[in-house]
Structure 1
Amino acid sequence: MTVHFPFQNSYSALPDSFFARVAPTPVAAPRLIKLNRPLALQLGLDPDLLETPEGAAILAGKTVPEGADPIAMAYAGHQFGHFVPQLGDGRAILLGEVIDRDGVRRDIQLKGSGPTPFSRRGDGRAALGPVLREYIVSEAMFALGIPTTRSLAAVITGEHVIRETALPGAVLTRVAASHIRVGTFQFFAARRDTEAVRRLADHVIVRHYPELRDLERPYHALLAGVVARQAELVARWLLVGFIHGVMNTDNSSISGETIDYGPCAFMDAYNPSQVFSSIDEMGRYAYANQPRIALWNLTRLAECLLPLFSDEQEKAVAEAQDILGAFSDQFSAAYQAGLRRKVGLFTERDGDEALIQDLLDAMAKNQADFTLTFRKLGDAAVEDSADARAQFMEPAAFDEWAGRWRARIALEQQGATERQAAMHAVNPMFIPRNHRVEAVIQAAVNDDNYAPFEELVKVLAKPFDDQPAYAAYADPPLPDQRVLQTFCGT
């Protein structure tokens, strides 16, 4: 049988200025590393066929499947605050779209599939390490319940790419609600092509916000919808200690998914100023800065939409500012509600926000592990607090806070076991620890050994389960295992 993708190609039906038609560059000897079988089934694909040599050839870009309409999407973007009028898919090619089993339209894109007209002197390829990192982290984010692009497959190409040295080449098959970004709107706005901005906005509304189609002011509602989704998304990032690393406008998805896992990382010890990305020298995208940057990016989107709001500039600006003004409250509401769940509060009372902030301050001062502190706090709801207080350099700091916390939870009717279960449902035991991800990459790159990768992916698929057999995966790094910087991999 032949591998069949039931493609529908709505984006490539837009005007030619929205993309460049380009086929993936064939590779020498594609070999499947990992197929996400549950996701394949969700997409209506046959995983058994995708695991054949024919399937590997498609997933590596060596063969273009029937019905595909390969394109590289055009977009611009602010990179670390500096505007670049043309970026685009420099190493990714959208094969097409499928309707999944829930009736949702999903992009299928090859990342690392060769040069495109947007490559800007790049080779269009991806090294094995960044492909494995994106597979691991994006699927971990999905298991954590955070909106994200997904990874369908990772394929090694049989060729090398040149970075600082020669590295094994690979291709990631990425699945997304779409790959439309704030930067996509900026591409047309920078060219003063208002009709293209309108065409793009209409496409986004139909695809992502269909409930807005018949409203009197659909473009205002579109901005409000994107603001709400981004506020919720970034709150969820902070609640699991995630740092995106490169929150440029070209990495900000209109659908509200986490996209473009480059130098991303999860914190070990809690530090609001934590930065891992080697290129974020000024800390623009530090952990605690992410809400502010999200709003900055949304403001750039609003600027693109102003001509659709009103012919009167001042009126359009005032309307956009009013919509953007909702971000702070929306983010705060999502973040504070999430924090209350993390510390086991079922109700909201005066003083809760200060109580939780006191915990975070003590964690920062005592270099407490972000993930384990909250996980062990769930256990402290029913038994001794030893594991939780052990996260603190000065355990007395936890003891003082825990006394106030116990007095607060005593005001609620829920029992200790119910509270523990609720806390464990939102506080993961397992995250993609940076040292674990790096160890997996080194085993694959240096030894062609994918057993550690398979095991880590398996553990991270159930982040809220105790999994005693894999307890070591929850451990923070030893001093000599700490990863201080992460890299884009381009």
Structure 2
Amino acid sequence: MKLEHHFAGLGEAFYAKTSIQPLLKQRLVEFNQALAHALSIDIKSPQTKRILSGEEPVEDSLSMVYAGHQFGGFSPQLGDGRGVLLGEILDDQGWLHDLHMKGAGPTPFSRRGDGRAVLRSCIREYLASEFMHAMSIPSSRALALYTSSQAVYREQPEPGAMLLRTAQGHIRFGHFEYFFYQGKEIELNQLIDYCLKHYYSDCLASDTPLESMLIQVVERTARMIAKWQAVGFQHGVMNTDNFSFTGETIDYGPYGFMEDYQPDWVCNHSDHEGRYAFSRQPGIGLWNLNCLMRCFSKHLERDQLVAILQHYEIALQTHYEALMTAKLGLPEGHNVTNLLSSLFAILAPEKMDYSLFFRLLSHLLPDEFDLILDEVVDRERMRAWLLDYQQARLALEQDWSQVSMAMRQVNPKFVLRNYLAHEAIEAADQGDFLPFRRLLSVLSAPFDEHQACDQLAQRSPEWGRLLEVSCSS
């Protein structure tokens, strides 16, 4: 395994040197073989095992410093309070990826925290990030999960764990905010040059490389959030320090995948005002980008920054409409605005399961509506919508079965429901990782039937609907 250390070359204004501090009686319980193969990582190598577990320190490993707007308020200095960047590694396509350990122990940015992670949060992130990858949503990914006999205290003692994860980059909006508000212009310019070189090198050929890069950041962010909205994902903590400059979903904490359709659903029990509610995510994405653009106010004129931000709404709306059109089995460019608005007006009062509805729709046969009608109370209202929907599909004179098959490749059968993660965590706490691996298997191929695992595709039981997650998750 060959680690590179490009970020470390920026200098210690950008980080503090840190190393993984192994947990007591630490052991590897899950390793992502497919991802490791793409990164040419051989876990059978004794030296690789020692490096990844923290038993052999990496000379240039570090914890990043950054700032961030958290629930609307600005924190001038944050940083990796429990994370260590081991370095970067080339994949089989020639792209660099960060190797980053969560729960690696206290760092200078821990802010009186213990720097540790619990098994519960590591399992939740492992499952979510691999599911998002399978859904073609840009995301960090889990490479390895370690558990231990060490107790870590949250609301109560829990097993300590570490999660090794990869991402194209861990640079956040908050990195730029840190250097801008600290008045560190030299370091801000270094960071800009670094991102242009390593993440947006195609922009260097432009006459206006900075503007070109920022337009791509805006559009990547817009497309990411459009995918969130289409799949029913809520991040839970959309602070600027949790937003990736490369347009990847990072920092899985109190996230959730919407079950009953509720536009104003809040998955994070700690978000008392509903700032990051599901329906507000697109607006928060733009708010965060506004915060980011302020950091370039000495590089570009206000009109230029406004013009860059104007790419957001167009990109988000265009991508979201394309995704939802595919979910409905209609051709790209077909106007689905009325169909969607009337559908959502039905799903909300029915408290219809969002993912289940679209999966059932992909199995629908002409004039045979009971599959869906049996799931609702107001059958006549739903029947009227289904007739309109059927008419739209039949008018296109496409092969119904082929379209339905294509729909099943964009409407997952399996979704990471909160109660499923809870059951996997409870079993793992007792040393049984089989439920976790079984759930991971279906979430890694969520469009497949996996008939032996049909129970994992069912609605949540009543007790499962009452589960809550908070920032400690």
TM (norm. structure 2) is: 0.97
* Residue 368 of structure 2: aligned partner: 384
1:9 aligns with 2:5: yes
CA distance in 2, matches of 1:165, 1:424: 42
**CA offsets per residue over residues 161-209 of structure 1, 9 Å max, x none?**
1112211100000101010000010010111112221211111111111
User: Secondary structure of the equivalent of 1:295?
Assistant: helix
**CA offsets per residue over residues 44-93 of structure 1, 9 Å max, x none?**
111333xx7x655543323325xx51100010000000000000000000
CA distance in 2, matches of 1:297, 1:55: 38
* Residue 407 of structure 1: aligned partner: 391
1:341 aligns with 2:341: no
Query: Where in structure 1 are there 5+ consecutive unaligned residues?
Result: 310-315
Amino acid in structure 2 at the alignment position of 1:481: G
1:477 aligns with 2:473: no
Q: Is the 8 A contact 1:435 1:483 kept in 2?
A: no
**CA offsets per residue over residues 318-343 of structure 1, 9 Å max, x none?**
11011101211111111111111111
Amino acid in structure 2 at the alignment position of 1:468: Q
| 2:449 counterpart (433, 448, 466) | 466
1:424 aligns with 2:408: yes
The within-5 A match list for 1:86-105 is 86-105=77-96
Q: Percent identity?
A: 36
Amino acid in structure 1 at the alignment position of 2:12: D
| 1:259 counterpart (220, 243, 250) | 250
1:488 aligns with 2:455: no
User: Secondary structure of the equivalent of 2:396?
Assistant: coil
Aligned-pair CA distance for 1:381: 4.3
- Alignment length, in residue pairs? 473
1:269 aligns with 2:252: no
CA distance in 1, matches of 2:167, 2:376: 39
* C-alpha RMSD over aligned residues: 1.5
The within-5 A match list for 1:27-42 is 27-42=23-38
Q: Is the 8 A contact 2:326 2:332 kept in 1?
A: no
Aligned-pair CA distance for 1:402: 0.4
| 2:71 counterpart (77, 80, 84) | 80
CA distance change for structure 1 residues 270 and 377 in 2, over 3 Å: closer, same or farther?
Answer: same
Amino acid in structure 1 at the alignment position of 2:79: G
* Residue 48 of structure 1: aligned partner: 44
CA distance in 1, matches of 2:240, 2:303: 22
Aligned-pair CA distance for 1:354: 1.1
CA distance in 1, matches of 2:152, 2:466: 24
Q: Is the 8 A contact 2:325 2:334 kept in 1?
A: no
1:221 aligns with 2:212: yes
CA distance in 1, matches of 2:55, 2:41: 19
**CA offsets per residue over residues 354-411 of structure 1, 9 Å max, x none?**
1111111211121110001001101114672222223323232221100111111112
* Residue 312 of structure 1: aligned partner: none
CA distance in 2, matches of 1:14, 1:464: 43
Q: Is the 8 A contact 2:42 2:48 kept in 1?
A: no
Aligned-pair CA distance for 1:218: 1.3
User: Secondary structure of the equivalent of 2:80?
Assistant: coil
Amino acid in structure 1 at the alignment position of 2:163: L
* Residue 113 of structure 2: aligned partner: 122
CA distance in 2, matches of 1:207, 1:449: 41
Q: Is the 8 A contact 2:366 2:390 kept in 1?
A: no
CA distance in 2, matches of 1:121, 1:81: 22
Query: Where in structure 2 are there 5+ consecutive unaligned residues?
Result: none
1:25 aligns with 2:25: no
Amino acid in structure 2 at the alignment position of 1:482: R
The within-5 A match list for 1:56-455 is 57-65=50-58, 69-309=60-300, 316-350=301-335, 352-381=336-365, 384-445=368-429, 447-455=430-438
Higher deviation after alignment, 412-421 or 293-302 = 412-421
Q: Which consecutive segments of 4 or more residues in structure 1 shift more than 4 A? A: 54-57
Amino acid in structure 2 at the alignment position of 1:240: V
Aligned-pair CA distance for 1:279: 1.3
User: Secondary structure of the equivalent of 1:393?
Assistant: coil
User: Secondary structure of the equivalent of 2:247?
Assistant: coil
